Structures are given as C-alpha cells and as structure tokens.
Chain A
Amino acid sequence: MTRLGLLIDVTKCSGCHNCFLACRDEYYDNDYSPYSAPQPLDGQFWMQVKEVERGSYPKVKLDYIPTPCVHCDDAPCIAIAADNAVYKREDGFVIIDPVKAKGQKDIVNSCPYRVIFWNKELDIPQKCTMCAHRLDQGDREPRCVEACPTGALTFGDLDDPNSTISQYMAEKKIEDFHPEFGTKPTVKYVGVPKRLVAGEVVRADKRGECAEGAKITLEGDGVKLETASDSYGDFEFEGVDKNKTYKLTVSLAGYATLSCDISTHTDVNLGEIVLERA
C-alpha cells in the first residue's frame, strides 16, 4: 500500500470554506462504519478553517489555515487509546474505531492540534478519516480536496515521485503547522503565516510623490533581510520569526538614514516613515 498525503498551501486558500462544508455534508448523519459513526449536527469541525488577520490598517493580511486531523506518525491519540481504539493504516491515515473508542474521552484531550471532537450522544471521539471509505470505493480524493476551487489542497501518493503532491512538495518549502508539538504529521503545509513587518517610506520634502527604491534592512538574531520600497513607497517583510528583536534601517540617497528597534511579539506596521533631507 502506498502512503497517501495531503498538502495545504495557505497562500492559495481563499477562505471559501468549501472544504469545511463538503466535509460536513459527507459525514453529518451518515454512518461509514467501521471508519466513522455519524457526525452530529453541531459542534464538530473535522475540517476547520482558521482565520488569521495580521498587521494594522492599511497594511493588513488575511490568511486562512484549513485544519483537519494532520494524521501524525507519532500520534498522541494512538498512544493514549486503550484496546488499539486508534490505529494507523498502512496508507498513513489515523483512524478512530467508533466501537472500540466508546467512552475514551482521553483521546480528545490527547490531541495538541485540537482536531478530535467528543460525540456526547454516541459517547465516542470523532475526527477526520481522510474519507477512507470513499478512497476504498475508488474515489481519487477526499471531499474537501474535491471541493477546493483554488488548488490550496493537494492530495495524492507520497511514494510516487511523479505525483502532483510529490512534485509540489519538491518545489515548495514544506512545514508542519505546529512543529513544536513534535508529532510528525503527514499532513503538510506551505506558507503558514508568521510575523509581518511593514511600513510606508515618505520624503518630507516630496510628500506628493511616493518614495520608491528606499533600502530597508531588518537585522538581528543572526539574520539580515533586505528589501526596497515599491512604487507606492511601501515595503514589507513577510514570514519573519515571532518573538524576536530586530533593528530596522531605512536609507535613501540624499536623505538622513533612520533606524529603530522593533520586536515581533506582534505584527509590526510602522506607518509612515518620514525621511528628512540629509
């Protein structure tokens, strides 16, 4: 059996929620034993779409992070489950057996990604099965991927170097959603949002014209990033590490260089940075 994987490109996700709704449509009130019992009407989000807004007016970013079960190789839910109630298939999917898992509430709380939900009525934990029942019937992909209009979700054979997902993973910088959890997820991400540092360069003596081409550097913690202001005088550093301190410097020929210390405990919009004639 081949290993099947899901790759989520956050930079392409528009937040349309097709994946969330298609998932609910598949599972609500539908029994796919032995993979899953019916999902209740409320309160379960097997494919949740998290909204992340960063920056401040008018330098603002909006991202959506689709969050299913990430089907870990070192899955805490498997470790904590009694009676092998949670198991990993050869293709990599982590499945909760709805019969064996009855009453095992610890399975819900074991998940650091918080993607396992408790079904009060049936007394069982439930989560994404990667549509194992559909794939077993011969479908090519889970409902969430089928519904995705932008190509943000890619599903396929990780062992085949020519598969779309393998090629995508070879081209892009792949990451875990939460590497700090250390659970070796098989669902991978591209472009998980980090800190934004942005601003607009303005010349005090030419306020009616945008200041293109100013050099901006961001230095600290062993890294040095450099960019230039664009035709609107805007600049931004995307994907900056969180909780660090940097020195930001703005320089433009003929103008006095400005610099300041910034901290990325939150996103940083410096607003108008006004350069005076040297």
Chain B
Amino acid sequence: MAEKVFANLTNSGPVSVYVKDGKIVRVRPLVVEPDDYKPWVIEAGGKKYSPPKKPTLSPYIHAERRRIYSDERIKYPMKRVDFDPDGERNPQNRGKSRYERISWDEAASIVAKEIKRVRETYGGSAISGITSSHHNWGIVGYKMGPFLRFMNMLEYTPVLDNPDSWEGWHWGASHTYGFFWRLGMPEPYDCLGDALQNAEQIVYWSNDPDSTRGTYSGQESSLWRQWLKEKGVKMVFIDPFHNYTNAVMGGKWIAPRLGTDTAIAMAIAYVWIEEDTYNKEYVANRTIGFDKFKPYVMGETDGVPKTPEWAEEESGVSARTIRTLAREWAAKRTILSGGSRGGEGGACRTAYGTEWARMMVLLQAMQGLGGPGRSIWGTTMGAPNDTSTWFPGYGEPDGRMSMSKAANWLPQNPTKQRLWRLTVPESILDGHTEWYGEGFCGKSLEQQFTHFEYPMEGHSEIKMWYRYGGSFIGTMSDTNNWVRMYQSPKLEFVVNQDIWWQSETRFADIILPACTNFERDDIGEWAAIGGYTVHASSGCNYRYIVREQKCIEPLWESKSDYEIFALVAEKMGRRDEFTDGGKTELDWAKAFFDISDLPKYISWEELNEKGYHIVNIRDDYKPTPSMRWFYESRDCDTPDTGNPKRLTEKKAELGTFSGLIEFESVSLKQYFPDDDERPVVPRYIPSWEGHHTTELFEKYPLALMSPHPRMSFHCHYDKHTDWLNDIPVHRIKKDGFAWWPARINPVDACVRGINNNDIVRLYNDRGSVLCIAVVTDRVRPGVIHSYASAAHYDPLQPGDPTSIDRGGCVSILTPARMMSKNVPGMTPNSCLIEIEKWEA
C-alpha cells in the first residue's frame, strides 16, 4: 500500500506525517511547495539576509513517531484496585497501589457519578483541576478548549497559573516599564532587523536561546544568531553554566555565583554613573525616579557604594571583568538578551528575582532602551511578520471553544474561589492559603495586588481533583508535597486524564487514556499562542497555519480529550451542551477557520486538502522596531494589540502608572510602599537560601540551578520518547537505566570522590534525587547544573513522600518558598544541596 502524507503541527513546528498501512512510518519537517514561500529580506551592512524555505524543528520532534507509539502510553481506562467509590477509597495508598483495566463505560460512569455526588454534597467549588501545557498542539483540542468548557460546566474552582518560566519579569519588570499585557516581557517587533542593522554587542544574561528556542518556535532563530556572529557582533554570556548558545557562539563567559546577578547589575550602574557614561538625556526625559536610585547605587543611602569590588565579593566575578563589561556596554550599541521569551535561564526564578528583572530594564534604560541596537531581545522573536492576518491562538478567548464566538453556547462559571498552582498541596493539606496576585496578570498592574484567600467564604474546600496531563513533580517546587497532597483523605476522588504515564498519573483513582493530535482533527498556527504573547509567530521565519489532519485512528483504547469529556457529559445527560449541539472536532476546526481572516485567502476545501497555509509578509511591509517609538517620544506605532493605551490619547506612554520608565515604581509605591523585599526602588537583597544563609550553607554548600531543558519540552518527550536517551545531553544510559545528568565542576567532584558517569545522590532537607554525574568545566565551582522537567518520577519506595527518586526530578529539592512576601513567584534557582557518590 502506498504511503499517504498528512499535515500536522507540534509545540515546535509543522510536520508532514507519512502513513503506511494505518501506521506512521516517518515524521518530517512540513514539506511545503517552494512557491508558497515569499522570504523576507533584511538589508544590513551591505548584505541581504533572507531565511531558507523550510521550517526548522526542535530535535525531539524528529522522534515524534516514538512518542506516539510509546510503551508509556496509557492504553486503557484504569481503576486503582483498592479504590471503591461505594466503599473504601484508601486515599493513603495513592502512589502505591496497582491498577486494573476497566471499560470506558464503567470509567465514565464512575467519573460522572462522583461529579454529581461532590456537586450535590459540597457544590461545584469542591471540584478543581489543572492541566499541563503544550503536550499537544491545535486550538480545538488544547487545554483552554475542551477542559475549560467541561470544567466551567461543573462550576469548578480554577487554579491560577503562576508565570513560572519568567517570574521576575512578570512581578518586577512590569513595574518599571509596563508590558503587563505581555506579562512583563517587552514587545518583540522587528528586533531581528534592528540587531542586524545596529547591534555591536549582545549580552545574554541568564539566557540560552539555543536551548529554550523562543519556547515554541523550533530552531528558526539559530540561523539569525549565526548571521550576527558572522557579522562580528560581540557576544557576552552571563550564566553560571557555559550554556549551549555560548558554546556555539563563542564570546565571553562570565559565571556569577547563583542568585547574585543583581549585585553585578548594580555595579554596572555604578560604573556608568561614576564614569558618566549613561544616556542622561534619556534618563531625564524618558524615566522617573533616577534621583532615588542613584544615591542607593553610590552608597549614599546605606553607606555601601555598589562598586565592582563590592559586586566581586558577592558574585565571585572579578571587579575588572565587571568594569570592562560596563564600559563596553556603554561604548558599543548593546542588545540586552534576557527577557522576551528568554527569561527561562534562571535569574528571574530566584529569591527576589523581581529585582534582577527590574534592573535589566533599568540598565538598558540608562543606555537608551528602544534606541538603535539598544533593545531588550531574547533573540528568538522579532522577524518580519504579517500581523494583519488574524488567526486565533489558544491564548485568546476566541481561540477556545470554552469562550469563543465560534461557539453557539458558552458555559458560565459563577465560582469566584481560586487556588494558586504553587500552593495547591499546601491548600489541600493545611486547608488554608493566602496570596497576592491574579495569576497571569495581563489585564492591569493592579491585578498583581489582588488578595486571595482559600477557601473563599461561602465556598467549599477541594474534594475532587481532575488532573489533565500531570507532571508537576518534575517542574514545580518542593514537589514531594504533591505526593503528600495526593495521599490526603481530603481529596475524595482523583481523576487523571493523559496520553502518557506521567509523574502524577499513578496517584489517581481513575485514569483516562487520551490520544495525541495525530489521532484526531484540529487546526492551529505554529508558535502563535496569541493573548499575552501576541504575535509570537514572529519567532518563525514564516507564519504556518496548519489544518492538523487526523493521521491514524486513536491507538489502543485512547480517545481524544474532547471525546472523553463528551462521554462523561453524556453520562451526566449534558452531551449536547458540551458539544455545542453535536459538533465534531472537525466542525470546531471549521468554526475557528470561519471566524478568522483565512477565508479571504484560502477556501476551507483547499486548506483541508493541502493541510497548510503560509502567511508571508506584505509587499509594503514597514518595520516598527520594538520601543523605538518610546525612545523617540512618538506615539506607539507597533501592532502590539494588547497595549491598552495604544489606541487612546495616551498612545505615546508605556504601561506604567507614570507612562515612563520608573526607577522608583509608582505602582509599588501606591500599593506596597513599605515592602522591603520588593522595594519601591530596586535593591540587591541576598537570597534567603544562598551563600549568606550561613548555617544552611555549611550543611549544603552547593547551589543547584535547574533551567528549562534542552532536549525536551516541559516534561514532554522525556521518558515517552526513548531515542532521546541516546543523546547524552538529555539522559545517559548506565546499567540498563537512562539517568538524568547533574553537571559538576571537577573541583567539587574531586573533593567528594565523584568521577564522571558515577551515580550520585543530590540531597537536602526536602528530598533526595539520583542523577548521573557529568564532570565538566562548563559549570562554575559551587554550582550543580541539572535541568528541571524530568518526566520520569521513579521513587525507590513508591508512594513514600520521603523516598529517593532515581528519575531525575530535581524539583523535589527546590524550595516552595515564594520570591518575597508579596510576590507569589517560584524560586527553583535558590536551592542549596549537597551531593555524594551513590554506592547502593
């Protein structure tokens, strides 16, 4: 039988899927007719830069076939053997007990019956649940669609997500330059062109774009950085780890002690003030509060001048290196590459990480942020991009079947109670939590100051937990607490619905097998999430809108998430409501197509047949570089549709209260004037878990950094894609097991008798994790580098929250403590540990 080719889409790019005899035999980068592409051209330095006519995917996508057919797939509906919904539930055995296969009918009936019981007994607010992100792609099936539509029908208690990958930017930087509608990241428009035409230097601060890849945009930007390198743009990397971008770009590596980046930033400001090399005109006209900031830097307020010598004491980076960095930054047109989908490196995910992110904005403001070659740019977005053709992303209401105008009927959820993702275990176990901040605070700065209390008056504690995708043991903080939570009798019923066995799957009472987006119909655009990262497809060289074609039937007994919720809704007598009157997934794909701009350019029939549509830039494309308008005191000319001032009389202002860049934050002054942990004017505050916490530091003298992974995505592709275990950057095979690497400097390894490829135990008071030692000079002495996001949670004593894990979930070790008293951000990179050779 001949091969048939289907178009589909992943979290990292579009693919062509080859199917033979009902089986996927090959997954290639999407094969596109060359004439469909109209490459953009950027002229710079007498050369023309233009992208190749192909999509460049992240590595793991090439192994997608193995993930689809993985032995780790959940194949059938399952029930925990000692769970009896009409008798003993044995919650204490979650994580320990076996499962038995049951029918879909039985599984859906139990779930529907439990929903009914819990709602009738406690009300809808007793039901909560949460999803993981990006294990599949496509707006019909994405979590904001079916999951949210179903849960809103139950009137559940939503869990507010923390902006986990870029915390400090969200809670800190937004109070210096606004961009709350981008959750603290700056607009990315035309940063590539600006860099090619104007940049002389790029300072990558806690940023490894070759590994984090603009989150969803595959490896499109790696060629951009090659161009910049070939042009002779000087590259500087500030990171305790000699990261992979540094490896391929070369340049200067500056390795600070973990959590001391803000001290270096202060010293840079000190050099600029002392040597009078900052942009005084910009500071005078485009910022406020410099007169409050300068005395702190110069030591007039606290008697401590923030000199390079002072910063050397803190950071371990020599004063002369800091001095040269400051001078070159002032003398050369320098792009600061820290934010804008580049925050995942770690400095923004530490104790008081708000202060570092604020300083990133303020340093660049001292050199004229928005001027030519003076952007804040992660290097992964900002290619020429047609923003005039609208297609919904999952991040905007119209891209969700739960909220979109593409639906005839939308469920409304009246429940006001909320949980905070990071403190869900604490909420369940202690029965009480409080915090400030409305999750993704993209509507206003004020949202960051909203106070929440759980349980909310008139609402129930959580009794039923619906987990959809489940991998937090490898990504959240102090994650043994999730094990404790799952074993709490307060959770009367736990469902887990997922495609693969994840770290949390084995804690459920009922397990429901979902299928991948290769086994159902969908539609979506590459990298375009919309909402709070609008125009993210500028991380790709072209816009790709893909009619994600069902390639094969759902494997084993799996069903699409949509079908699963429809089935449970049917048992509740509400199938028609959920399916909006009987819509199939293909009907939804068509409905989203119909409300978009696409019908102007391609018919539904042609898109269905061809599988994709490329949106090229328009012939009259005019670049509008990020923040240039602000630099030049003009009205905003970028297409940043989230900017609420853009179409008003305040269109020349930033999103801060003052409309200017704020050294002294007006919003913080108004709401938390006496907060000494996120002060009105930023300060360097030593970590509450670091080299100054003497007693702890003596016991656990190594600092663990756990950035986002290079060869997998969140917890996806690890564990479920066996070929990745043949890539030593990802996992290393030893004695028949694929171990998660922990990188250690030879100096630290030597004194502990640790050799390369030894199995080692990483531990502190919170837990123990086994890894494989990679002894390398690429990590600063005193620092252990091990990626977050291991999907393999493999406790030596299953179900014991104090057990050693051998799967590499180093998040077990990281603190649950929040960034500061009024900032509920996570802090995985403020983590002290010890490490020893594991002999058992």
Answer whether residue A157 sits at the interface, using C-beta atoms and an 8 A cutoff: no
From B244-252, B491-499, B583-591, the one touching the partner chain is B244-252
> Is B247's CB under 8 angstroms from A22's CB?
no
Q: How far is the CB of A12 from chain B (nearest CB, A)?
A: 6
CA distance A61 to B244 in the complex (A): 10
CA distance A60 to B711 in the complex (A): 22
A234 contact set on B, CB distance < 8 A: 252
B219 contact set on A, CB distance < 8 A: 16, 18, 149-150
B726 contact set on A, CB distance < 8 A: 20, 45
197-212 of chain A: CB within 8 A of chain B? 202, 207-210
What residue of chain B has the Cβ atom nearest to residue A143's Cβ? B28
Answer whether residue B161 sits at the interface, using C-beta atoms and an 8 A cutoff: no
CA distance A236 to B252 in the complex (A): 12
Q: How far is the CB of B803 from chain A (nearest CB, A)?
A: 30
CA distance A16 to B722 in the complex (A): 17
CA distance A151 to B219 in the complex (A): 12
B321 contact set on A, CB distance < 8 A: 210, 232
From B191-199, B394-402, B420-428, B776-784, the one touching the partner chain is B776-784
What residue of chain A has the Cβ atom nearest to residue B247's Cβ? A62
Q: How far is the CB of A127 from chain B (nearest CB, A)?
A: 17
> Is B324's CB under 8 angstroms from A208's CB?
no
Q: How far is the CB of A93 from chain B (nearest CB, A)?
A: 20
CA distance A262 to B745 in the complex (A): 24
From A48-56, A70-78, A114-122, A177-185, the one touching the partner chain is A48-56
Answer whether residue B575 sits at the interface, using C-beta atoms and an 8 A cutoff: no
> Is A21's CB under 8 angstroms from B59's CB?
yes
Answer whether residue B7 sits at the interface, using C-beta atoms and an 8 A cutoff: no
Q: How far is the CB of B95 from chain A (nearest CB, A)?
A: 31
Q: How far is the CB of B323 from chain A (nearest CB, A)?
A: 7
Q: How far is the CB of A133 from chain B (nearest CB, A)?
A: 12
A63 contact set on B, CB distance < 8 A: 247
What residue of chain A has the Cβ atom nearest to residue B230's Cβ? A12
Answer whether residue A13 sits at the interface, using C-beta atoms and an 8 A cutoff: yes
Answer whether residue A91 sits at the interface, using C-beta atoms and an 8 A cutoff: no
> Is A21's CB under 8 angstroms from B723's CB?
yes
Cross-chain pair count, CB within 8 angstroms: 131
> Is B320's CB under 8 angstroms from A208's CB?
yes
Answer whether residue A233 sits at the interface, using C-beta atoms and an 8 A cutoff: yes
B223 contact set on A, CB distance < 8 A: 149-151
CA distance A30 to B19 in the complex (A): 12
215-231 of chain A: CB within 8 A of chain B? 231
Contact of A14 among B57, B248, B327, B745 (CB under 8 A): B248
What residue of chain B has the Cβ atom nearest to residue A139's Cβ? B31
708-742 of chain B: CB within 8 A of chain A? 711, 722-723, 726-729
Contact of B62 among A18, A58, A151, A208 (CB under 8 A): A18
> Is B27's CB under 8 angstroms from A25's CB?
yes
Q: Per-residue CB proximity of B29-68 to A under 8 Å, as 1/0?
A: 1000000000000000000000000101111101101000
Known: A58-B255, A150-B223, A151-B226. A53 touches B778 (CB 8 A): yes
Answer whether residue B102 sits at the interface, using C-beta atoms and an 8 A cutoff: no
CA distance A142 to B726 in the complex (A): 21
CA distance A209 to B29 in the complex (A): 50
Contact of A57 among B59, B309, B781 (CB under 8 A): B781
Answer whether residue A17 sits at the interface, using C-beta atoms and an 8 A cutoff: yes
What residue of chain A has the Cβ atom nearest to residue B253's Cβ? A58
Q: Per-residue CB proximity of B797-809 to A under 8 Å, as 1/0?
A: 0000000000000
> Is B62's CB under 8 angstroms from A21's CB?
yes
Answer whether residue A15 sits at the interface, using C-beta atoms and an 8 A cutoff: yes
Q: How far is the CB of B15 from chain A (nearest CB, A)?
A: 10
Q: Per-residue CB proximity of B251-286 to A under 8 Å, as 1/0?
A: 011010000000000000000000000000000000
Q: How far is the CB of A220 from chain B (nearest CB, A)?
A: 26
Answer whether residue B124 sits at the interface, using C-beta atoms and an 8 A cutoff: no
> Is B63's CB under 8 angstroms from A25's CB?
yes
Answer whether residue B26 sits at the interface, using C-beta atoms and an 8 A cutoff: yes
A16 contact set on B, CB distance < 8 A: 58-59, 210, 219, 222
Answer whether residue B319 sits at the interface, using C-beta atoms and an 8 A cutoff: yes
> Is B248's CB under 8 angstroms from A56's CB?
no
Answer whether residue B707 sits at the interface, using C-beta atoms and an 8 A cutoff: no
Q: How far is the CB of B11 from chain A (nearest CB, A)?
A: 16
> Is A208's CB under 8 angstroms from B309's CB?
yes
> Is A207's CB under 8 angstroms from B320's CB?
yes
732-787 of chain B: CB within 8 A of chain A? 745-747, 776-781
A62 contact set on B, CB distance < 8 A: 242, 244, 247, 778
CA distance A9 to B119 in the complex (A): 63
A207 contact set on B, CB distance < 8 A: 319-320
Q: Per-residue CB proximity of A82-119 to B under 8 Å, as 1/0?
A: 00000000000000000000000000000000000000
CA distance A210 to B317 in the complex (A): 13
> Is A147's CB under 8 angstroms from B242's CB?
no
Answer whether residue B304 sits at the interface, using C-beta atoms and an 8 A cutoff: no
1-36 of chain A: CB within 8 A of chain B? 12-18, 20-22, 24-26, 28-30
B252 contact set on A, CB distance < 8 A: 232, 234
> Is B244's CB under 8 angstroms from A15's CB?
yes
A233 contact set on B, CB distance < 8 A: 320
Q: Per-residue CB proximity of A144-169 to B under 8 Å, as 1/0?
A: 00111111000000000000000000
Q: How far is the CB of B454 from chain A (nearest CB, A)?
A: 43
Can you pick out 10 interface pairs between chain A and chain B where the beta carbons lie within 8 Å of each other? A14-B210, A15-B244, A15-B729, A16-B219, A20-B726, A21-B59, A25-B26, A147-B29, A149-B223, A208-B320
Binding site for A on B (CB under 8 A): 25-29, 54, 56-60, 62-63, 65, 210, 218-220, 222-223, 226, 242, 244, 247-248, 250, 252-253, 255, 308-309, 319-321, 323-324, 327-328, 711, 722-723, 726-729, 745-747, 776-781
Given contacts A21-B63, A150-B248, 8 further A-B contacts (CB under 8 A): A16-B210, A21-B59, A21-B62, A24-B723, A56-B777, A147-B57, A149-B222, A208-B320
Binding site for B on A (CB under 8 A): 12-18, 20-22, 24-26, 28-30, 41, 45, 49, 51, 53, 55-58, 60-63, 143, 146-151, 202, 207-210, 231-234
